[in-house]
Chains A and B, each alone.
Chain A
Amino acid sequence: MRKAWIIGLNSFKESLRKKTLYILLVVAFVVIGASKAFSWLTAEEELKMIKDISFSGIEFFGALIAIFMSLTAISSEIEKRTIYTLFSKPITRQNFFVGKFLGIVLIILLNFILMSLFFTGLLIFKKSPPDVQVFKTLILIFIELILIGSITLTVATFASDAFNIIFSFFLYIVGHLTSYGNQLADRTENVILKGFWKLLYTVIPNYENFNIRDKVVVGIDVTWNYILKTGIYGILYLAVILLIGSYFIQKREI
């Protein structure tokens, strides 16, 4: 684990040098900051808008950062041939993969903290300090972002960057619509179609599970039990994804 951590820290430092990261972060700040533009609304409505836009901004730009940072984490090592030197050292390929994952977690965490602090600052400025429901929403968004990043990283172990970016965005969109698949499965009479929708619902990560912002914004309380259950779902899905990634990096010819 120590070797993975060393690789992770190095990967984190490398990610900090990518311009894409700062561009996305600046745009995220602009979007979150722009939520203040609804001052013509009543104070309560304005607060709802700030929360809604900020949660969406943190989730969307966090997802973009997770995808773009994970996308080249492995391929750049191969392209630049730094991987040859690394693999000649006493590390396993799993050390390398887990290290890359830790690097991604660190970069997502840093950006998530920066965006969340900005959002919290806005709430405090509006004399409405964040309550526990805000924190619950942010916790689930963070787990979702880790999941998104880890899926892109895993696909990077066996696919090209071009395929990976298309796949990651496709999955990001479909992952938010997967609950419709379940509803379609319940409504359809056709056994094959029913099986197809059920399969999709089971295999594709259900990102909507992590979306409680619609409830929180309108003041509906989400229980800790739900947060715990969804957190466990995210961690289990993450474990499976990392196992798949470890398998493919082990098989891969460099």
Chain B
Amino acid sequence: MNVIEIKELTKYYYLGRNRIVVGLENVSFNVEEGEIYGILGPNGSGKTTCLKLMLGILYPTSGEISILGKNQFDIEMKKNVGFLPENPYYYDYLTGPELLKFYGKLFEIPEKILNERIEKLLFLVKLHESKKLALRHYSKGMLERIGLAASLINDPKILILDEPTTGLDPIGCIETRDLLIQLRKEGKTILLSSHFLSEVERVCDRIAIFHRGYLLATGKLNELIQKYNAEGLEDLFVKTIAEFDKKGEIQ
């Protein structure tokens, strides 16, 4: 069953004086329940634009977005979605538990359940010993981890993660990877945007490759490797992008 359906999604940025930048161009894909779907692409390929559109942060120029059968602005739908932005920045005067409480209250989670969940999540992301530390004293890795905890505060059915391992050390990366696999086992659907190919290769059931706002390829990794006659994900990534750029030059 598809829990996310993106149909012909297009986003243009109007920069004035008739300057238009393509954020996304006619992108369509589906994410199935319980899978980890990886969005790959170089910087500026439209990954983050796609996620922002899905969360109703940006307005699409055209196209449709359906998450759990609802549109991207639906409040009930958002109660079932967790989001970790790229390089997360939070209210730095709050402590970790205060931040989680703030977001938890927006989900209208009952106080008792919220407190229990905060404790559990702080242990999960290994920040239980930094409870009294304000976020301004957090390292980049700690911020990433509290961000991950914040994205799980509502026990979401769908988790949208934008570059979740940026700033993490190798151990942190492995732990995050293991956590994603664990969350998939619990039945959560994960949409993971990353430009770390090895990370995507290890955890994702299906992938999508974005470049210059276009969706170049989507499907199971082994099928795509076969289709493009590639030697692995890295080769597939380079080939699809090079092929697209070559077409563009010819045109």
Answer yes or no: A19 CB below 8 A from chain B CBs. Answer: no
Distance (whole angstroms) from the CB of B155 to the closest CB of chain A: 13
> Quick check: A90 and B89 within 8 Å, CB to CB?
no
A-B contact pairs, 5 of them (CB 8 A): A7-B106, A17-B93, A80-B89, A90-B106, A254-B57
> Quick check: B89 and A82 within 8 Å, CB to CB?
yes
> Quick check: B106 and A87 within 8 Å, CB to CB?
no
Which B residues are within 8 Å of any A CB, using their own CB? Answer: 52, 55-59, 75-76, 78-79, 81, 83, 85, 87-91, 93, 102-103, 105-108, 147, 150, 160
> Quick check: A85 and B58 within 8 Å, CB to CB?
no
Name the contact of A85 in the complex, choosing from B59, B75, B85, B107 (C-beta under 8 A).
Answer: B85
Known: A80-B89, A88-B81. A6 touches B106 (CB 8 A): yes
Which residues in A have their C-beta under 8 angstroms from that of B108?
2-3, 90
A19 to B145 alpha-carbon distance, docked (Å): 30
Answer yes or no: A215 CB below 8 A from chain B CBs. Answer: no
Main secondary structure of the interface of A (DSSP, over half): helix
A88 to B147 alpha-carbon distance, docked (Å): 13
| Among B52, B55, B59, B91: residue with most chain A CB under 10 A | B91
Answer yes or no: A43 CB below 8 A from chain B CBs. Answer: no
A87 to B58 alpha-carbon distance, docked (Å): 10
A30 to B71 alpha-carbon distance, docked (Å): 55
Name the contact of B102 in the complex, choosing from A10, A81, A254 (C-beta under 8 A).
Answer: A10
Which residues in A have their C-beta under 8 angstroms from that of B57?
83-84, 87-88, 254
A254 to B91 alpha-carbon distance, docked (Å): 18
> Quick check: B90 and A85 within 8 Å, CB to CB?
yes
Distance (whole angstroms) from the CB of A246 to the closest CB of chain B: 15
A80 to B91 alpha-carbon distance, docked (Å): 9
Answer yes or no: A189 CB below 8 A from chain B CBs. Answer: no
Distance (whole angstroms) from the CB of B14 to the closest CB of chain A: 9
Interface string of A60-101 (1 = CB under 8 A from B): 000000000000000000001111111111111000000000
> Quick check: A85 and B150 within 8 Å, CB to CB?
yes
Answer yes or no: A208 CB below 8 A from chain B CBs. Answer: no
Name the contact of B56 in the complex, choosing from A14, A80, A83, A87 (C-beta under 8 A).
Answer: A87
A87 to B108 alpha-carbon distance, docked (Å): 15
Answer yes or no: A229 CB below 8 A from chain B CBs. Answer: no
A86 to B56 alpha-carbon distance, docked (Å): 11
Which residues in A have their C-beta under 8 angstroms from that of B147?
85
A7 to B91 alpha-carbon distance, docked (Å): 12
A91 to B107 alpha-carbon distance, docked (Å): 9
Distance (whole angstroms) from the CB of A163 to the closest CB of chain B: 16
Which residues in B have their C-beta under 8 angstroms from that of A13?
93
Which residues in A have their C-beta under 8 angstroms from that of B88?
81, 85
Answer yes or no: A253 CB below 8 A from chain B CBs. Answer: yes
Chain A interface residue count, CB cutoff 8 Å, equals 23
Which residues in A have their C-beta under 8 angstroms from that of B107?
89-90
A92 to B77 alpha-carbon distance, docked (Å): 12
Which residues in A have their C-beta under 8 angstroms from that of B58?
253-254
> Quick check: B91 and A10 within 8 Å, CB to CB?
yes
Additional A-B contacts beyond A84-B83, A85-B150, A91-B75 (6; CB < 8 A): A2-B108, A10-B102, A84-B57, A85-B85, A85-B147, A90-B106
Pick the 8 closest A-B CB pairs, nearest first. A88-B83, A90-B78, A89-B106, A88-B55, A90-B75, A84-B85, A90-B79, A87-B57
Which residues in B have their C-beta under 8 angstroms from that of A88?
55, 57, 78, 81, 83, 85, 160
Residue of B nearest to A16 (CB): B93
Distance (whole angstroms) from the CB of B44 to the closest CB of chain A: 17
Residue of B nearest to A85 (CB): B85
A11 to B7 alpha-carbon distance, docked (Å): 37
Distance (whole angstroms) from the CB of A69 to the closest CB of chain B: 16
> Quick check: B90 and A82 within 8 Å, CB to CB?
yes
Which residues in B have their C-beta under 8 angstroms from that of A84?
52, 55, 57, 83, 85
> Quick check: A6 and B83 within 8 Å, CB to CB?
no
A2 to B103 alpha-carbon distance, docked (Å): 13
A17 to B105 alpha-carbon distance, docked (Å): 22
Name the contact of B55 in the complex, choosing from A6, A17, A80, A87 (C-beta under 8 A).
Answer: A87
Residue of A nearest to B14 (CB): A253
Known: A10-B102, A91-B106. A82 touches B59 (CB 8 A): no
A6 to B109 alpha-carbon distance, docked (Å): 13
Residue of B nearest to A13 (CB): B93
